[in-house]
Structures are given as C-alpha cells and as structure tokens.
Amino acid sequence: METASIIGILNFISRWILFLVVTYRFIKTREKGWALLMFAFFINALDIESYILDPLGIQIKEEVYEIAGMIPNFLISLLIMWGVIHLKNKRAEIRHVIGMGVYVSLVYLWLFFAATPFFDGLPFAIRVLPSSLAFGVSLMYLGIMLRRYIVRKKTIEELFPWGLILLGALNLMYPLIREMAGFVNVAFLLAGVFRVISAIGAVKFAFYPIMPPQRKREKILPKEIYLFTDSKEVEYMFPTLFLENNVIIITRKDPRTFQLGNDSIIYWITRVREGNIEDDPRIFAISPTKIDILVDLVAKGLKQGYNVVYVDAFEYLMLENGFKAAFKFLLSLKDHVISKNGTLILVVKLDALEEKERKLIEREFSKF
C-alpha cells in the first residue's frame, strides 16, 4: 500500500474517532460545550472535498476553490472556541458574545476581500494565513483547556489534548511550509500521526474505567447505612474512616481538608471547574447538576472494590436540583451500595429540611 494511502486512512479513521468520542461525551453529559465540539469535529471529519466530492468525480470550481477551502476552517474554529467557552465557563458572558461577534465580522470581511482581484495578487502564505491561524489557535486552545481542566494528568488521556495542540501548531505552520518542496507530504503524515495520538487519548478519556484500589481495606463496622447530622459525629464514631477504607467521597467541602489514604476518590461538587484536579489522592470536580453521571461513577467504583460511599453534599445538590431529584439520587446510591455489600455514610442537616422531607430521609436512611 502506498504511503499516501496509509496517510489518508490514518487521517480518515482518526477524524471519525475524535468525532465519535466527542459525540459520546455529549450524549453522556448533555452539555452545550460538547454539543458544539461535536459539530466542529463532524465538519472536520466530513471533509467534503476529500471524502465526498473527489470519490464522486465532482470538482470545485477553480475560481471559488480558495474561498471554499477557507470556510470549513473558519466554521470549525468558531464552533471550537464557542464550545470551549461553554465547557470552561458553563455559559457565554457578554465579553464572549462580543468576541465571537468581532470574529464573525472579520471573517465576513475577509471572505468578501478574497473574492476581489486584489486577493489574487497576495502571496499564498498571506492568503491562507487567517483561516490556518483561526483553525490552529482554536485547536491549541481546546487542547490546553482539556489538559488543564478535564483530562487526568500523567495518563494516556493526556494524549487527547497533546495531539490537538500539536495538530494546531502544525496548522499554524502550514502557510509557511505549503510551498516548500517535499514538506507537504511530511506535513500530512504528521497531521495523521497527531490525530491518531489524540484519538488514542480521546478513547481512553471517554471510556476509561474507575481504577480499582491498590489494596483491599475494609475496617468499618458491618452496617449498610449510616445517617449523621454533622461530620464531627462521623469523626467521633469512625476516626480512621478515610485511612482504613477504600472510600468514595461526594463532598461540597474543600477536598484537601480530608485525611485520606491513596485509594480514596473524591468527587468535589462545584460549578467552578470540572474534571481531574489531582491524582494522589484522586480528586475530580463535577457539576451539581450531573447527578446521573455521578451515580454511574459511584456504581463503577463499587464494582472495582471501593467499600464506602461518604456523602455530605446533599443540601447543595438539593439546592441545585430540588429535593425530589436529590432524594432520588440518594436512593440510587443506597441501592448500588446495598447490592455490593458496601456502606453508605450520609451527613445531612435534618433541621434545615421541611418535616416531610426529614421524615423521608429518616425512613430510608436509618438514623445511627
């Protein structure tokens, strides 16, 4: 098989893997940011000229070829930047809207300028620079954001953002190397390699299992459910709870205040950021509205060998989702814990609840 064919296959497969991974992430999280990235990667994977028009023997008109080639880069970069804004900030602020508006306006002016005779007199590097710059910068920005806030560091997952960063850097160089003899094929090969690297990390990021604890530690009393009204009661009753058990912690508190063994996992409920924060112990930030995802993560942890689930964030979850949804979340946790012969420790300020709510909690979670 010729080298060109291998490069084409690498690019084709890696493009669609990235699209499918981002799509899977959107389906799981239902977040606007991942939806925008899904469409960006879909346009990139579609590559109409290479994968649709060329096989059909349809040629783009020569007089509009360069303009048509710019449009996908501008669209993809817009969707990526917009998606990153939503992933990082959860919503677009006025400064983001103004920034996107300015960007669209500049693209509008550039495309019309590209249709004038003056454009033809410019060097090739200048003609393609804006679209390559937009595409490259957006990929690098996405990679930096993923590495900083989302993926776990020092794991295969890091290949996901690093591949995007390298691919973005390559696109920044494209206007300069495009007319260098022999460099074009090398550039396409590198693009395929970087996409494959990113795809490998993306698959690991999307489908990675909760790692099992290194040691089996189960020193807590053989009771399935504990209900406390204050975390100090837990400390008094189980002073070595977090050191002698493999614990999954769901908390609103600063996760670094817990004295933990290396085999504990903390899910910090916050809107400030999301994703992996530390690896030793493992601390993940997760939005309070993602309680369905949180249940799945806890269930996976119990299957892997974690024996205790500690929850002290019920009031915050109730504030963000309502009592009914938050209570349903607790019932789901309880069912998963019981099915795996684990222990659930729930800390709830019962005085802060209405009488009906308090009775529901006390009925389902026996007061210690």
pLDDT for 137 = 94
pLDDT for 109 = 93
Q: In a structure prediction context, what are the per-residue pLDDT tens digits for the chain, which is 368 residues long?
A: 556 677 778 788 888 989 998 998 888 777 788 899 999 999 998 887 676 777 777 777 777 778 888 899 999 999 999 999 888 776 778 898 999 999 999 999 998 998 888 888 888 888 888 999 999 999 999 999 888 777 766 778 889 999 999 999 988 888 777 766 666 677 778 888 888 899 888 888 876 556 666 666 555 555 678 888 888 888 888 888 888 788 899 998 887 777 766 578 889 898 877 766 776 677 888 888 888 888 888 888 888 888 889 999 899 999 989 999 999 999 999 998 988 888 899 998 888 888 898 888 888 887 55
pLDDT for 35 = 92
Could you tell me which residues come within 8 angstroms of residue 213 by beta carbon, excluding any fewer than 6 positions away? 246, 263, 304, 305, 306
Tell which residue, 277, 253, 249, has the closest CA to residue 263: 249
Tell which residue, 148, 147, 168, has the closest CA to residue 158: 147
Crossing angle of helices 183-207 and 159-177, rounded to 10°? 160
pLDDT for 231 = 84
Cis bond leading into 281, ω under 30°?
yes
Q: How far apart are CA 364 and CA 368, in angstroms?
A: 12
pLDDT for 290 = 83
pLDDT for 367 = 56
Q: Render pLDDT for 321-336 as a digit per residue (tens, 0 to 9).
A: 999 999 999 999 999 8
Q: Render pLDDT for 263-284 as a digit per residue (tens, 0 to 9).
A: 788 898 988 777 667 766 778 8
Judge residue 119's burial from the number of C-beta atoms within 10 Å of its C-beta, 0-12 exposed, 13-18 middle, 19 or more buried. Answer: middle
pLDDT for 91 = 73
pLDDT for 33 = 87
pLDDT for 218 = 57
